[in-house]
Structure 1
Amino acid sequence: MTAIDKGTGALLPARRIAEFAAALRYEDIPATVRERARIQILDGLGVGFASNAFAFADRALAGLTALGGAGDCTVLGRRQKLPLRDAALANGILVHGLDFDDTHLASIVHATAACLPAALTLAEALDASGEEFLTAYTAGMEVAIRIGAAVKGGFHHAGYHATGIVSHFSNAVVAGRLLQLSAEQILHAQGIASSSAAGLQVFLEEGAWTKRFHPGWGAVAGITAAHLAQHGFIGPSRPYEGKFGLFESHLQAHAAEADVAALSDGLGERWDLADTAIKPYPVCHFIHGAADSAIALRERIPSVEAIRSVRILVPAQTLPIVAEPAADKLRPATDYAAKFSAPFVVATCLRLGRFGLAELLPQALADEATLALAARSRCEADPDTAFPTYFSGGVEVTLQDGSTLRWHERVNSGAGERKLDVAGASAKFMGAAGMVLDTAIATRARDAILAIDRHPIRHTTAVLGGS
C-alpha cells in the first residue's frame, strides 16, 4: 500500500492523520486545550442527560435493548447497560438528540458528538485512564474539524449531514488511539470507515429522528473499523481524495472545491478544538444570531400584538435548512422540526425573551400567539453575515404604527469572544442534567467530568448512569 503522493512525494492525508493520532501523547496537548476539552465534554454529557426527558430516548433504548440485550457499558442517565457498540450508539443518540450540543462553526460539524460517545464507551470497556480517554477524544476532534473544514460546507450542499459523515472517520481515529493501534493500522481504519460513511439530510422534510442517529452510528462504524484494522483487515489508503473516495462520492458537483491540504494542515501544531462553540439555545446553530437579535429587541417592543411583520436575516447558505419550505417552517409539526425553523425560534424569542428546552414541549409548539407571529415573518439572506466564521443573524421588526426596530449580531452567543467558560458551561450542564437528575447527583457528575482526565475513566462513568 502506498502512503505517498507519487506526484509530490508528500504523505497522503490519511497517513498524516494516522501518524498524528498514533504519536499523540497527553503531555503534547496544551493545558488550555485540555481545559477547553473538559468544558466541551461537560456540555455534551449534560445534553445527553437531558435527552432522557424526551420520548425518542426511550424508543431508541427499547430498540437497542431488543437488538443486543444487556451489556457492561454505561448509557448516560440510565441504570441499564448495553454491549459496547450498542452503548456507543445510544450515547451518540443522546448527546446529539436535542441538537443542543457544540458546533465548530467554520467546519459546520457537531464535533463532540462526532467523538465523545465512542471515546467514552470504548475507554470504559478498555478500563482506560482519563488521560488516555482525553487524548483519544482530542485527536478525534482535530480530525473531525479538519474534514469539515476541507469540504467548505459541501456535504450540506449535496444533501448530507456533515456530522454524520465525519463521525465515521473521527471515531476510527478515536478508537484506533484507544486501542493503541500503529499508524499503519489507523490508516487502514480510516479506509475501512470510508465505506460506511453516510447521513442523509432528508429528515429536514418532516422533522424525522434520523439526524439524532447519525453520530452514534458513526461511533459504531469507527469502533468496528478500528477493531478490524487491529486484526489485519485492509482498507484503502486514499479514502478522502482517491478516485471514488469521499470527496468525489459525497460532494458531487462540489468535489473540486475541497481543500485536500486542510485535512492535515496544522495537525499537532494548531488546535482547532478550542474554537468549538457551545450552544446557548437547543436549536440549529444557524439560527443563533437571529435568536440573539430577537431577544435583544424584545424589551423595545410594546407587545406582540404591536408587531406588524418580522424580517429575519440568516446566512444565505443556510436558508434551505432553516427557512425552506416556508410553509412548513411557519408551523413546525414536531419539536425537531421546530429546531430548524427560523420563524418559530425568532417568534418565540420575541414573545418570551428566551429559547430553552421548555420551548420545544408540545404546548409551546401549539401556542397560537407564537404561531401567529411566525406567520407574520419572512426569512432573507443576511447581507452583513460573517458566516462561516460566525453564525451571524439579525431581526427587523415593523410595528403597527409603521416604525421599524432592528438588531444584528455578527458574533453569535457561545462563539468567539462570547464562548461559554467553565461557569457558563456548568450552569448549562446543571440546567440540562437537572431535567432527569436530582441536584446532588448532577453536582457529583459535573465535578467528576471536570476532573475526567485525573482518574480512571470508570471512576467517571460510575456516576454517569444517573444513580
Structure 2
Amino acid sequence: MEHTARLRPPSANIARALAQFALGLAPSTLPDDVWRKSTHQILDAIGLALASRRFPFAAPALAGIRAAGAPGDATTIGGGERLQPRDAALANGYLIHGLDFDDTHPGSIVHPTVACLPAALAMAEATGATWGELIAAYAAGMETAIRLGRAVKGGFHHAGFHATGLVSHFSAAVIAGKLLGLSEDEMVSAQGIAASTSAGVQVFLENGAWTKRMHPGWGALSGITAAKLAQAGFHGPDRPYEGKFGLFDTHMQERAGEVDTESVLQGLGEEWTLMDTAIKPFPVCHFIHGCVEAALTLRADIGDPRSIEAIVCELPAPTLPIVAEPAAAKQVPRSDYEAKFSVQYVVAACLVRGRFTLAELDDDSLADAEILALAAKVQCVAEADTAFPKYFSGAVSVRGAGGTTLRRSVPVNLGSGERALNLEAIVAKFRANAGLTLSRTEVDAVLETLLSASSDTPVRGVARVLACA
C-alpha cells in the first residue's frame, strides 16, 4: 500500500511519556486546585448519571448491557445492578453522557470526565483503591484525553469522528493501567492495544440515534480490556499515536500534517489542562451555548416573540455543519437528541420560553407550534470574530415587525474561562439533576459523600452510596 507520511513526529514517544506521567502521579503530588476541580467535575457527572435514569433511553441500554455481560461486584450509579467492572464502566459512561449535559474541554472539544470517570470508578472499586488514588488516576486520564483532543484542533469532528468516542479508549487504558499497577512497558502496550478499538463515527447526527451516548462507556470498557490484556503479557503497538497508521495518521488522513503532536508532551505534569474544562449550564451541545445566552438576554427586550420576523444566529464556522446544517432538518428536530444539536430549535425555544432546561427537550416542547414557527425563521451564519475553540461564542440578532433589529453577542460562554461555574452553581445543578430520581435525603447523602471524601476514603464505601439502592 502506498503511503505518504504527513504527520510531524513528536520529540518523544507519546505513549511512553503519558505512561511515565501517569505512573509518577500520586495523590500527595496533586495541586489543591486540581483536586478541587476534579471533585466538582465528578460531582457534576454523578448528578447527570442519576438524572439519565429518568429518561426513556436508559432502560433499554442497561437491559442490553446486563444481557451481554455478567453479574459482578461493580457499582452502577443510581441502581441496584452489580456488574463486572467493564460492564459497569460501560453502563456508567452511558448514563453520564446520556443527556449530553456533561463537561467539555473547549480547546480539545472532548467531554473529558465521561472519558475518565467510568473507568476510574470501576477499577478503583475493583482494586480496593482509596479516593485519593481514584482522583490521581482520573487526573492522569483527563490529561491524556484532553491533550489528544487538543492536538488535532477539532480535526476528529471534521473527519466524521466523535472525539470523545476516540480518546476515551486511551484515557481509560491509562487509568486502568495505573490502578492495576502496570509497569511502564505494560502501560505503553495498553495504549497500543486501545488504538485498535478506538472508534466513534458521527453518523448518529443523521437520525438522532443513541450511539453517541454509548461511545465514552465503550471506550472505558475497551480501555479496561486493553490494560488487562497488557497485564497478562499481550504485546501491543508501541507508537499508537504517531506511528504509521496510528491514531493521528488514520483518523486525520490528509489533515495529519495539521496535528500538533508536540503539544501532547508540552508541560505534562506542570500544566494542568483539566483546569480549563467547562461544566455546562445548559443541556445542549456546547457549540450552541453562546447563542443560548444571547437569546436569553434578548428575551426580555423583544416583548411578544410572535412579533419576530427574522432571526440570525452567528456561530464559529467549524460548528455549523454539526449544529446548523442541513437547515430544513434542524428546524424540525424529531427527538430530544436532534434538538440538542439544533441551534434553530434551541434559540427559538429560548425566545419563546425565556429558559432552556431539560423540560424544553420533552415531546410536548418538540411539538410546540410556536417554537417550531420561530425556528423556521432562523438563519445561521459564520461568526466573524470568535476565540473558538477556546470559548463557545455566539451571537443572535432579532428583527421585529417594525424593522428594528436587536443583537446580543457572547464572546465567552457561561461555564468557560473566567466565567466558570462556582461550587454553588454546580451544587444547584447537581441537586436539580439528582432530584429527578432521588429523594432530597438521598440527594443530600450523595452530595455529602462526594464533597467530604478524603484521600484515604475507600472507594468501595463511596460506591455503595452512589448505588442509591
Q: CA deviation at 1:147?
A: 0.1
Amino acid at match of 2:409: H
Matched residue, 2:3: none
Matched residue, 2:137: 136
Say whether the 8 Å CA contact 1:21–1:183 is kept in structure 2. no
Matched residue, 1:457: 459
Percent identity reads: 55
Q: CA deviation at 1:84?
A: 1.2
Once the two structures are superposed, the pairs formed by residues 322-337 of structure 1 within 5 Å of their partners are 322-337=323-338
**Residue 147 of structure 2 is aligned to residue 146 of structure 1:** yes
Matched residue, 1:239: 240
Q: CA deviation at 1:305?
A: 1.0
Matched residue, 1:370: 371
Matched residue, 1:78: 79
Matched residue, 1:54: 55
Amino acid at match of 1:44: A
Matched residue, 2:224: 223
Matched residue, 1:187: 188
Matched residue, 1:355: 356
TM-score, structure 2 normalization: 0.97
Q: CA deviation at 1:78?
A: 0.7
Amino acid at match of 1:461: A
Aligned residues: CA RMSD? 1.2
Say whether the 8 Å CA contact 1:134–1:453 is kept in structure 2. no
Secondary structure at 2:337 match in 1: helix
Matched residue, 1:3: none
Amino acid at match of 2:398: V
- State the distance in 2 between where 1:191 and 1:69 align: 27
Deviations 1:289-344 (A, max 9, x none): 00000001000011111111110111100000000111110000000000000000
Q: CA deviation at 1:181?
A: 1.1
- State the distance in 1 between where 2:36 and 2:325 align: 39
Amino acid at match of 1:304: P
Matched residue, 1:118: 119
Matched residue, 1:178: 179
- State the distance in 1 between where 2:231 and 2:71 align: 26
Matched residue, 1:157: 158
Matched residue, 1:251: 252
Deviations 1:79-123 (A, max 9, x none): 122111111100000001100000000000000010001101111
Once the two structures are superposed, the pairs formed by residues 382-421 of structure 1 within 5 Å of their partners are 382-421=383-422
Deviations 1:412-449 (A, max 9, x none): 01111111121111110000000111111011101111
Residue correspondences, number: 461
Say whether the 8 Å CA contact 1:189–1:228 is kept in structure 2. yes
Secondary structure at 2:313 match in 1: strand
- State the distance in 1 between where 2:422 and 2:175 align: 25
- State the distance in 2 between where 1:53 and 1:191 align: 37
Q: CA deviation at 1:9?
A: 10
Matched residue, 1:4: none
Q: 1:9 to 1:290 in 2, by over 3 A?
A: closer
Secondary structure at 1:45 match in 2: helix
Amino acid at match of 1:238: R
TM-score, structure 1 normalization: 0.97
Secondary structure at 2:37 match in 1: helix
Q: 1:457 to 1:376 in 2, by over 3 A?
A: same
Secondary structure at 1:462 match in 2: helix
Matched residue, 1:304: 305
Structure 2 stretches lacking a partner, 5+ long: 1-7
Amino acid at match of 1:245: G
Say whether the 8 Å CA contact 2:152–2:259 is kept in structure 1. yes
- State the distance in 2 between where 1:360 and 1:234 align: 46
Matched residue, 1:271: 272
Q: 1:442 to 1:153 in 2, by over 3 A?
A: same
Say whether the 8 Å CA contact 2:431–2:443 is kept in structure 1. yes
- State the distance in 1 between where 2:351 and 2:278 align: 24
